[in-house]
Every structure is written in structure tokens, then in C-alpha cells.
Amino acid sequence: MDLQSIKNRFGIIGNAPSLNHALSVAVQVASTDLTVLINGESGVGKEVFSQIIHALSARKHNPFIAVNCGAIPEGTIDSELFGHEKGSFTGAVDARKGYFETVNGGTIFLDEIGEMPLGTQARLLRVLETGEYIRVGSSKVQKTDVRVIAATNKELLESTYQNKFRQDLYYRLNTVPIRVPALRDRKEDISLLFRKFAADFAEKYKTAPVQLEEDAKNLLVNYPFPGNVRELKNMAEQISVLATRKMLSAIDIAPFLPDKNLNRLPVLVSQQSNGALGGGPEFANEREILYKLFFDLKKDVTELKKMFLDMLQHGSTPIQMPAAGFFKDVIPPNETTLDFQPATTTPVQPVLLSKTDIQEPIAVDESLNIMDMEKELIIKALNKHKGKRKDAAIDLGISERTLYRKLKEYDIEDL
């Protein structure tokens, strides 16, 4: 069976190379009885891979069960997996079969295996190595023929170094590792997934499917999606229900993205924008705008220095200075004598300067506080565009949403 048929059968959307590789490994190992360890962040769809392996195996007509090890209390997980005898503990009014007994001949998927207690890990290792287990409260050894597929969103090898996971069990489970890529590592699939989810929810709620403009697609592609496919699906459902329009721009979908993750994205800039400071390229974030401002300021200071040097070299009018040391770093192109007349009554001795005195550019004593300069820049942009936020945001090279946030942050009232 080819990969596309498998994708269609199990509802998998995407063509990223990392996703295709994970599917290929799952298909290859399915026909064997090898233990498989599926690695991947929460929400990437690890359980689907376990279903694929079971459905393509010789055990496909036998039971399949998925068990979330992190959702079962530590005191009852042994009973859930291996069963117990009547009276073996308080509340055990009857004997009970465990999952390894009821799924005999089939497949058991142990999700979040990293949350399994160490004592239960020892029991599981015995099942994997010998196929034997003992019910809680019993001394009778029982046999089972179950294929184990485990999954985790943790780095189990690191957990073994911290004595939180048995090293022998790790190597026994990790016979065939499969790593399911995070959604941010398969960005080319994000638009496809959103379109599929939007179509499904449109059918569910009897509405027309929402569609994304190019800037909205770019916003989603650059969003980190810590919740992976699950988060994208929930987001698509919210947008399908709450959006007031069917053709959505980045501004329309930005409110559905959490601010704490949205702030890490590149700033949204209109394609017609000429940059924050005019004529320049688009900036990746607000900090780059400030850096550009500082570099331009340094350039202006250098130009000012050259202008005064030129005046000193070619001008004949003496320059009255407020302080004797103001031009101590200004070096004329040729060795010469500068005779400044300060505003004080104390005469100033001539200062002999040469090219070799050039060390560093003029020091600027005024405050360069980033927040103050950013606030001043925003106010200037609003004044320039007569309070029109959209135009001011374009001129600043930031999104309108970011501008709203900055207005609140700096307590800037509408101009």
C-alpha cells in the first residue's frame, strides 16, 4: 500500500519529507512483531501511527487498545494493566482481568510511557522479554502474546540518566524508533491542514468554509503552534464559528492567536510599506527598527562631525563654544591649531591636534533609552498621519495589532 492511500485511509494531511519518512518506517515495521517507540510532542498525532501499525499487521483482526499511562493513578496502574485477584487490596471485591490479558493476541498502545511508575516499568519489562506477568495479589504466572507500541513526548534517554525511567526498558522499547515531526517543522502542511479543518467545520455547522488571504497564511506558517495539529484544529474551529467574514486577512485571524506566542512572530508589514524609516526593507521585529534608528543616529553624528571639520578647515569666522572641551574629539584632517573662545572669561589655550589623535567617534551624552525612543517614534508617526493608526503602523513597519498593544503599554492616548 502506497503512502497516499494510507494518508487517505487514516485522514493524514501533509507531504512534508519528515512526515513521509515517519509513515514509511511505520509501514515497514507493521508486518513484524517488533516493539515500537513513537516520539513526538503532544498533539502531533502519535496514536494515529499506532493505529496504522496495528491495521497493517497480522494482528489487525485482534483487539487494539490505547492506554494513557499518565491518566491512571500510580496506585491502580498495575491493576489496570495486569489485573488483580479478589481481596488483593481495599475495594477489590472481584477478580479483574488486566489489559494484557484482554488484548491477548492483539496490540496495546501505551501512550505517555514516560509517566509510568518505576515499579510498573519492571513488570512491563518482564512482559516484553518473556511474555509473562502476574496479577496483583496472585502468585500465579500467566502468559500473554501482545505487541507493545509505546509513545512519549519526553526524551526518555535523558530520563534514564535522572533515574526516572529504567534504562533496560528504554532500550527494549526503542527497538524501532519513529519520530513524528512537530507542526512547526512541517510548515508547508499548515495551510493544507487549515483548509481541511475549515471545510470539515463548515460542513458540521452548515456554513461556507472560511478562506485565508496570503498574509493570513504567512501568519499561520510563522506561528510556532506549541499545541501542534490539535491546536491548529481548535483554532480552525474557533475561526469558522466566530469570524464575521469568509475571506480572512492576517488582522482578522490575529486575535485567535495567543499574544505570548504572537509576540515572537515577525512583524506584519504591508507589501506597499517602505519600512519604518522610509525607503528601507521590511523589518523582522520591533527591535530591528530600534537598531536601525540607532545606526542612523550614529551616522547623523558622524555627518555632523564632518560638517564642523569642514567649517573649521575652510571657514574664517571664529566659533563661540559654550564649553572648552566640547570639540576635544573633533580632529581636523590636517594638523592645525584650534583657538576656541568659550563663553567664560578665562582664556583658552590653543590645542594642537593631528590625524594620529583620531580614536573614537564623538560621544553622545543624551539618553538613548529604548522605550523612550520607541514611544517618541510612535507619537511622531501618529502625529504625521493625524491619528490614523493603520497608516502609522505601516509607516512604523509594524502590524496594527502590535501598534494597539504599544499604545496601551506606553499609555498613549489617541491623537
Which pLDDT score, from 0 to 100, does residue 404 have? Answer: 78
Give me the chain's average pLDDT, please: 81
Task: Name which residue leads in pLDDT, 348 or 386.
Answer: 386
Q: Which residue type is seen at 359?
A: Q
Contacts 24+ apart (CB under 8 A), 270-277: 270/394, 272/394, 273/394, 273/395, 273/397, 275/397, 276/377, 276/395, 276/396, 276/397, 276/398, 277/397
114 and 154 in contact (C-beta within 8 Å)? yes
> Per residue in 302-322, pLDDT tens?
777 777 777 776 654 444 444
Report the share of the chain in percent with pLDDT over 90.
Answer: 55
Q: Distances in Å between the alpha carbon of 105 and those of 65, 95, 328?
A: 12, 21, 89
Cα dihedral across residues 108, 112, 117, 122: positive or negative: positive
Q: Which residue type is seen at 298?
A: K
Q: Is the pLDDT of residue 53 over 50?
A: yes
- Structural domains of the chain ordered from first start: 3-181 (3.40.50.300), 185-262 (1.10.8.60), 270-314+367-415 (no CATH)
The confidence band for 288, taking pLDDT boundaries of 50, 70 and 90, is low
Q: Is the pLDDT of residue 197 over 60?
A: yes
The confidence band for 283, taking pLDDT boundaries of 50, 70 and 90, is very low
Cα dihedral across residues 339, 342, 348, 354: positive or negative: negative
Q: Is the pLDDT of residue 280 over 90?
A: no
Q: Is the pLDDT of residue 402 over 90?
A: no
The confidence band for 343, taking pLDDT boundaries of 50, 70 and 90, is very low
Which pLDDT score, from 0 to 100, does residue 124 have? Answer: 96
Cα dihedral across residues 322, 324, 327, 333: positive or negative: positive
3-class secondary structure, 297: helix
Report the share of the chain in percent with pLDDT over 70.
Answer: 75
98 and 65 in contact (C-beta within 8 Å)? no
Identify the residue whose cell numbers are 500500500: 1
Task: Name which residue leads in pLDDT, 406 or 224.
Answer: 224
Closest alpha carbon to 49 in 25, 70, 13: 25
Most confidently modeled range among 71-75, 189-193, 364-368: 189-193
The confidence band for 289, taking pLDDT boundaries of 50, 70 and 90, is low
- Total-model pTM: 0.62
- The gap between the terminal CA atoms of the chain, to the nearest Å, is 65
Per DSSP, the residues of 216-270 read: HHHHHHHS--TTHHHHHHHHHHHHHHH-S-SEE-HHHHGGGS-HHHHTTSPPP--
